[in-house]
Amino acid sequence: MLETCFATEMQGAARCKRFAETFLYTDDINITQAVTMQIFDMLMRLRNIAQNAIRIKDMPSCKKLTELSTEDAIAAATDLIKSDIVKGIAKSWLLGTKIKDAIEISDVRNYYNEQIKELRKELDEEQRGISPIEQFLMDKFNAEIGYCDIASVKTGIGAAKEIAGLVDIARRNIYKFEQQLDNMTLQINTPYYT
């Protein structure tokens, strides 16, 4: 089930797989009984993750804002939900426990910054190199931040001092990700599970 539904190169799925494999061939009934409850709990958590997962293609993005005219982008940027830039389940992920109803460019940017922070934390905890799927996700997250930065510049959101070099960095991150997409055989419809 882990290999079918999850990217086992990701730390969370790999950790679950290692845990289950550790007890795969035990013949001690006491260990089996204790571990059975732990594995059941793990499976319930994985089920919850799978039910709440967002497909990579459905993750929030400000790319659409970069493709609009400046006037339309400014109008859409004030509420990305009402302007149909961010839809469905991505809305609930972005809102989290926030009270406000509107999603702004900064919310999308913060979402991807948090994803990067979590991925780096996992890599640091394991003290290992980045796997191909993790590199893909890192590049996607950076590209999405790039779209947010370009949309912010386009709509006039943000301080002037932050703009210097921002667009160049954003374009480099977007270019890197789009080149990777062109060279990869990974299906974009693969769910992203942590």
> Does the pTM exceed 0.85?
no
pLDDT, tens digit (0-9, with 9 covering 90-100), for 35-76: 888 888 888 888 887 777 777 887 888 888 888 777 777 777
Query: Does residue 157 register a pLDDT over 80?
Result: no
Q: What is the pLDDT of residue 144?
A: 92
Where do the DSSP E strands lie in the chain?
54-55, 191-192
Rg (Cα) of the chain, in Å, rounded? 20
Residue 137 near residue 119, CB atoms below 8 Å: yes
What are φ and ψ of residue 55, in 5° steps?
A: -65, 150
What are φ and ψ of residue 59, in 5° steps?
A: -65, 155
Q: What is the pLDDT of residue 194?
A: 46
> Mean pLDDT highest for which of 9-13, 132-136, 151-155, 183-187?
132-136
pLDDT: is 94 or 157 the higher one?
A: 157
